[in-house]
């Protein structure tokens, strides 16, 4: 096999051809601004956006009016965290003093960085540890929530180790103290069951490019039913998206997001079964051909296409560079020799964290590609270990 094998679907996914076909007219003949109310071009664009809003909402069990389009999940996470904080600062008289936020150590940096910025503004912040499984203890989170907590933010499925968190129980713990629950649902939406009503979450961040849609478009779910969650805008200048996110809407991207969400909803269960089977084939093959390997995070509560493993006695940078025709990733920025914060939070040493690989199996992955990857990884690991022995 001479072509590059792509096993990094947690980083991004290729745009589905069906999605691209749906988007193309909105770059040319259907080019209107969705907020132009005076003519057919604007009406047509607005109708397409609202249709996509319904498609995205349906993917996560939401109402279409609860979907706020953004430039991606990073903006959605920032809007959720900073927006709730800003709203809480302006509503102390009605809700009491709410100046505390709770999250966990394995969150994406687009959650951890906004939380850190709140700390600089005087907010009380709690970043909780996780056990080796990566699954947070609900009781630990509940104990950290106080009457002053405004928001609890916990990722539904981790972007590195694929671990699923007990979101329903965490939401209940937050609501018991009058706090809201935000979840970064980027990795789970469209890949496994995720329903905002069933889980009773208040805010959820999602994005298109993880589900075979375009890059540069995402959404924040903001609950109105039962609890009218208040989020202050971070971007002003037009009052778009219920006043929460101003700016001309990316109509082609939003249309593509809607179509990708529709396809994911229709095909998710069948695809999850196939992808999960390939992931297990990958794991079984690596176990059979490679010793000194450890799986990072729980295998019992995990995304079907995710596998994160580390290897004893292997230099992480050399490992990635040697996998020249298999596209995978490491939790570490190996050029800077920095271990993944997610893996170190699980208790991994720096060396083991650096010698880790994240595999993301996706829609186009084949059994032949999995078998090739198994052989390639096992051969590279053995060669690097032999080189280390000779070097000694």
- At 282 the pLDDT is 98
The CATH classification number of 17-262 equals 3.40.640.10
* Domain locations in the chain as residue ranges: 5-11+268-391, 17-262
Longest dimension (CA), the chain: 76
Average pLDDT, the chain: 93
| pLDDT (tens digit per residue) in 291-321 | 999 999 999 999 999 999 999 999 888 999 9
| 169-218 pLDDT per residue, tens | 999 999 999 999 999 999 999 999 999 999 999 999 999 999 999 999 99
**Of 71, 108, 34, nearest to 257 (Cα)?**
71
Token pair belonging to 109: 């940096």
State pLDDT tens for residues 334-373.
345 589 999 999 999 999 999 999 999 999 999 999 999 9
Residue tagged 């279409």 (tokens): 64
Confidence bin at 392 (pLDDT 50/70/90): low
289 phi, psi to nearest 5 deg = -110, -10
Catalytically active residues, by annotation: 334
The dihedral through the CA atoms of 181, 108, 103, 168 has a sign that is positive
Can you give the pLDDT at residue 331? 61
The CATH number fitting domain 5-11+268-391, selected from 3.30.565.10, 2.70.98.60, 3.30.390.50, 3.90.1150.10: 3.90.1150.10
Secondary structure E strands in the chain: 5-6, 67-70, 100-104, 124-128, 149-153, 180-184, 203-207, 218-222, 293-295, 306-311, 326-327, 356-360
pLDDT band at 243 (very low <50, low <70, confident <90, very high): low
Smallest CA-to-CA distance from 105 within 116, 119, 90 is with 116
Looking at residue 136, the DSSP 8-state letter turns out to be P
Whether 36 shows a pLDDT value over 90: the answer reads no
């Amino acid at each position: 096999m001479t072509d590059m094998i792509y096993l990094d679907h947690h980083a991004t996914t290729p745009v589905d051809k069906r999605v691209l076909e749906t988007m193309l007219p909105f770059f040319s003949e259907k080019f209107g601004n969705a907020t132009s109310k005076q003519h057919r071009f604007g009406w047509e664009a607005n109708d397409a956006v609202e249709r996509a809003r319904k498609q995205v909402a349906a993917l996560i069990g939401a109402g279409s009016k609860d979907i706020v389009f953004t430039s991606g999940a990073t903006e959605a996470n920032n809007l959720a965290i900073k927006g709730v904080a800003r709203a809480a600062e302006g509503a102390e008289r009605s809700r009491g003093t709410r100046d505390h936020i709770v999250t966990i150590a394995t969150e994406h940096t687009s959650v951890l960085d906004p939380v850190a910025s709140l700390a600089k503004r005087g907010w009380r912040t709690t970043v909780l540890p996780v056990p080796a499984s990566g699954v947070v203890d609900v009781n630990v989170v509940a104990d950290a929530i106080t009457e002053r907590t405004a928001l609890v933010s916990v990722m539904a499925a981790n972007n590195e180790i694929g671990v699923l968190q007990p979101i329903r129980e965490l939401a209940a713990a937050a609501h018991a103290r009058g706090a809201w629950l935000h979840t970064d649902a980027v990795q789970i939406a469209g890949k496994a069951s995720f329903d905002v009503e069933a889980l009773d979450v208040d805010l959820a961040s999602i994005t298109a490019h993880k589900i075979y849609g375009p890059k540069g478009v995402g959404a924040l779910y903001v609950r109105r039913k039962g609890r009218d969650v208040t989020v202050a805008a971070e971007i002003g200048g037009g009052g778009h998206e219920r006043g929460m996110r101003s700016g001309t809407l990316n109509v082609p991207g939003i249309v593509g997001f809607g179509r990708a969400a529709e396809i994911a909803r229709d095909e998710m269960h069948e695809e999850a079964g196939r992808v999960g089977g390939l992931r297990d084939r990958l794991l079984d093959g690596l176990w059979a051909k490679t010793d000194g390997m450890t799986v990072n995070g729980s295998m019992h509560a995990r995304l079907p296409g995710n596998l994160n493993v580390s290897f004893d006695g292997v230099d992480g940078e050399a490992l990635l560079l040697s996998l020249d025709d298999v596209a995978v990733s490491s939790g570490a920025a190996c050029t800077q020799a920095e271990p993944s914060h997610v893996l170190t939070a699980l208790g991994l040493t720096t060396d083991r964290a650096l010698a880790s690989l994240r595999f993301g199996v996706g829609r186009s992955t084949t059994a032949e590609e999995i078998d090739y990857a198994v052989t390639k990884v096992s051969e590279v690991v053995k060669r690097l270990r032999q080189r280390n022995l000779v070097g000694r």
